[in-house]
Amino acid sequence: MAKILPRKDVVIMGLGWTGAILAQELTDAGLDVVAIERGPWRDTATDFNIGYMPDELRFAVRKDLFLSPAQEAMTMRNSISQTAMPMRDYGSFLPGNGVGGAGVHWNGFVWRFHPSDFALKTQLTKRYGARRVSELQLEDWGVSYDELEHCFDQFEYLTGTSGKAGNLNGQMIEGGNVLEGSRKRDYPTPPLKMPYASTLFIEAAKNMGLHPFPAPAANLSRPYVNPLGVSMGQCTYCGYCERFGCANYSKGTPQTTILPVLMKKKNFEVRTESEVLKINLHPDGKTARSVTYVDRAGQEYEQPGAIILLCGYGLMNVRMMLLSGIGHPYDPASGEGAVGRNYCYQTQGAGARLIFEGKHFNPFIGTGALSATIDDFNGDAFDHSKLDFVGGAGISCGSSNGRPIGYHPTPRGTPRWGSKWKKAVAETYQNSLGIGAQGSSYPVRGNYLDLDPTYKDRFGRPLLRVTFDFPDNDIRMANYMSDQLEKIGRSMNPKELTVSRASKGWNSVPYQTTHNTGGATMGANPKTSAINRYSQSWDVSNLFVLGASAFQNNAGKNPTGTVGALAYWTAEAIRDRYLKKPGALVPA
């Protein structure tokens, strides 16, 4: 039997980006907050020490910082006609494990979604007509870019984001992203120094009439003190960002931005290596009473709370709602139900590899978000009237790393092993660059999340089942992007150009991206969204669900900047509205 603990004002599942932001804001408001984190405590000085952090085998190959299937597995299939099978290892995406979550091992891109991304159904229907988007299951988010602008700003200044504004209060600024939504002020630190590969890309893009700019990065271009008084260091371009913690205190993570302040507060507590099993509701089902969790010794506890926050990785938030009987599970046959609806991924597959002679790109000098980007073909920034798809992609060229195990580009026709392979690696290492297109992912009726009817975890709970394949619209979009990559690549006059193309058949084995979105989407209609515009459950008024699970669609950008903005938006709503009058913030 679970041991019942004293009631807290706020109980948080997960202490990654969203959990840390909400804990910081709500403890500042005087609330007594506890975070329950499945993974271990992680700290920069002890866990990401410079003496052992640049260990590619341990962290990039053996995935030391990531969730293992033994802790939580999932099943996957491409369509409802298939039987889902368990993922025996996480490959396609890599959820984090421990304090900081995926905010520890991310590359550091801090994008703002385009204004049109938040009202995609309205935008595309108005511009192209309802028939044009009839194969998609689009919904607006219920919140606008303009409402979120100050929240994007908060997250950028928390993380010390390095970048250059392109649209400052409606004034277009050359060298920045002139296609971005209007912002009130510039980034807190200047852009990173562009590597040689990016400068060649910038030159080529400008010659084609495009608008390149430095990607916004939470890899700091100079020392910085954030609004919480936490000091951060200048990036050393070591090339160990993605899949690694930052030993230099120069990548924005919960450890380098919030936790040094949060952990000193008497009204905050974190319980690590403790897994939430379910959310317990009051008899009427309209409010949550507590969460049940088990610690590493196997002891079960019930932690009551006035407010419950789901701040886990997005897929885990959806599973927790389904396990707890919160909301109506989505049914792809009828199209009814909201929990599990509109699961989206990120459309990868469009890429170009360029090989030159005598360029010496020094790929080992890099950092996670070090790149130049164009948004000319992203979202609805370009006219789709004569095209056979909607959506788009950010096209980028940069240098994130040149690590010895994972980075060894070779020309076409090179053997995969042996002396000829070694010779090709040695000759190509310094002379190759890549250009990639990170595409939008739009929802369709058959892509969704639910509980698997067969497979269970070590506690006897059903696993989450992922049913997903790349929609035809998104494949057509990605192939169009491959055409643009080829044009840009050829203009750079490489010795060899290889262009890849996307195809149907999502495969969970090879790594693609950790950008899973949707399943507990936000919106204005409780029939097509699980949470309202303030991230509050339509069905359980003291439950708020944070993270990328709220996205109705995924843009051609990394999601973390928008996740951070929504976290501040939700914290503001709880502090300024809910605490004054607990209950539904939006009528159902």
Q: pLDDT tens, 433-455?
A: 999 999 999 999 999 999 999 99
**Residues forming a β-bridge with 347:** 439
Question: Which residue out of 105, 114, 211, 515 is catalytically annotated?
Answer: 515
- Domain hosting 323: range is 3-578
pLDDT at 1 over 90: no
Sign of CA dihedral 534, 146, 254, 464: positive
Residue 367 burial by Cβ neighbours in a 10 Å radius (0-12, 13-18, 19+): buried
Cα-to-chain-centroid distance, residue 477: 21
pLDDT of residue 434: 97
One-letter identity of residue 169: N
The CA distance from 25 to 228, in Å, is 11
Residue 389's SS3 state is: coil
pLDDT of residue 325: 98
pLDDT of residue 366: 96
pLDDT of residue 588: 87
Q: Where would I find the H helices in 294-418?
A: 314-323
Q: Is the pTM of this model over 0.95?
A: yes
Q: What's the rounded mean pLDDT across residues 541-555?
A: 98
Tell me if 139 is assigned to some domain. yes
Tell me if 588 is assigned to some domain. no
Residue 199: Cβ within 10 Å count: 14
Q: Decide: 227 and 245 in contact? Cβ < 8 Å.
A: no
Tell me if 583 is assigned to some domain. no
Selected residue with higher pLDDT from 394 and 50: 394
Tell me if 450 is assigned to some domain. yes
Those residues with Cβ within 8 angstroms of residue 290's Cβ, 6 or more apart along the chain or in another chain = 4, 11, 279, 280, 302, 303, 304, 305
The percent of residues above 70 in pLDDT, for the chain, comes to: 100
Query: Is 282 an active-site residue?
Result: no
Rg (CA), the chain: 23
Residue with tokens 């609805």: 380
Number of domains in the chain: 1
Tell me the pLDDT of the chain averaged across its residues.
97
Tell me if 584 is assigned to some domain. no
Sign of CA dihedral 235, 238, 242, 248: negative
Q: What's the rounded mean pLDDT across residues 159-184?
A: 98
Q: pLDDT tens, 22-73?
A: 999 999 999 999 999 999 999 999 999 999 889 999 999 999 999 999 999 9
Q: Kindly state the greatest CA–CA separation across the chain.
A: 72
The CA distance from 557 to 375, in Å, is 10
Q: What's the rounded mean pLDDT across residues 345-372?
A: 96
Q: pLDDT tens, 404-425?
A: 999 999 999 999 999 999 999 9
Tell me if 585 is assigned to some domain. no
Tell me if 586 is assigned to some domain. no
Q: pLDDT tens, 98-157?
A: 999 999 999 999 999 999 999 999 999 999 999 999 999 999 999 999 999 999 999 999
CATH number at residue 387: 3.50.50.60
Q: pLDDT tens, 515-536?
A: 999 999 999 999 999 999 999 9
Tell me if 262 is assigned to some domain. yes
